[in-house]
Structure 1
Amino acid sequence: MRVLHHMQELQDAANDWKRYQSIPREDFFSSRDTRNMVFHAMMVAIQSAIDVATDIIAEERLQKPATYRETFEILGKNGILPDPLARELSALAGFRNVLVHIYWDLDLEQIYAILQRDLVFVEDFAEVIRKHLS
């Protein structure tokens, strides 16, 4: 199952994200290498969640999403994700697009806040999906 591969990628990237939460604020703001490491872990975690959602949508023959954000909305509409979690993950999918496409003009304050605050949504997603698959 492809979804299991993506779940492992998600777990690995979430573990990295969790480790990076201990990076002191001043190190994050002063070190480009540190920021790039954080950006990568966040991007891989979010992309892996998108890939898992897309796999489930395909396997269960649900409505095809038009955007990455919509993948989580579809899982919410179909009762796979609680609506509040679907909304948070949809917002993270939008953030992933910013990381990928506007990396030269990122709001570092916002990214540091997301680093500290939003991992819980990725972890909750992984837990809900594990239960859904079992």
Structure 2
Amino acid sequence: MVDEKVFVDKLRHINRYTADLRQMQDVPEQEYLNDVVIQRAVERTLMNLIQGRIDLAQHVRSTEGLSPSGTAKREMEALEVAVILSTETRERMEEAVGFRNVLAHQYGNIDHEIVYEVLRDDLHWFERFQQEPARWFQQHHS
């Protein structure tokens, strides 16, 4: 059974990272593209946000006895199979896992225009990832 304290703590961190990114969304594109400090802040926050989702998925999968662990993408699949995530959210979170890998391992080769697009256009997917597991938790563990 999911540890409520761990689950809530992970959601709290995820929510904080999402709120931080929401604050950075208003940075004009040219300012973002010219400011390495803002770029690094956004990239690091996105990495932490995505990792937080992976950690939450791992916790739920392991404590609920879902499919065996594997890759981060398999963690997301396990949540979809257990009807904790919608197919659409699972697909977007799998893309986010790949994006996190690019951010973590490409260093100076990151396409800052793509990161800016994610910041401007894709935060709602991260919010859906918060909402769907939270709704599941309330229904099954309250």
1:78 aligned to 2:89?
no
Deviation at 1:65, TM superposition (A): 3.0
Alignment partners' CA distance in 1, 2:38 and 2:77: 32
Question: What TM-score, normalized by structure 2, do the two folds share?
Answer: 0.90
1:111 aligned to 2:115?
yes
The residue correspondences of 1:1-134 to structure 2 (distance < 5 A) are 1-134=5-138
Deviations 1:88-123 (A, max 9, x none): 011001101111111221111111111111111110
Give the partner amino acid of 2:47.
M
Could you say which structure has the larger radius of gyration? 2
Alignment partners' CA distance in 2, 1:24 and 1:65: 40
Q: Structure 1 regions of 5+ residues with no counterpart?
A: none
Give the partner amino acid of 1:105.
N
More displaced stretch, 25-34 vs 71-80: 71-80
Identity value in percent = 25
Give the partner amino acid of 1:90.
E
> How many pairs does the alignment contain?
134
RMSD: 1.0
Give the partner amino acid of 1:23.
V
SS at match of 1:62: coil
SS at match of 2:27: coil
Question: What TM-score, normalized by structure 1, do the two folds share?
Answer: 0.95
SS at match of 1:102: helix
Deviation at 1:73, TM superposition (A): 1.6
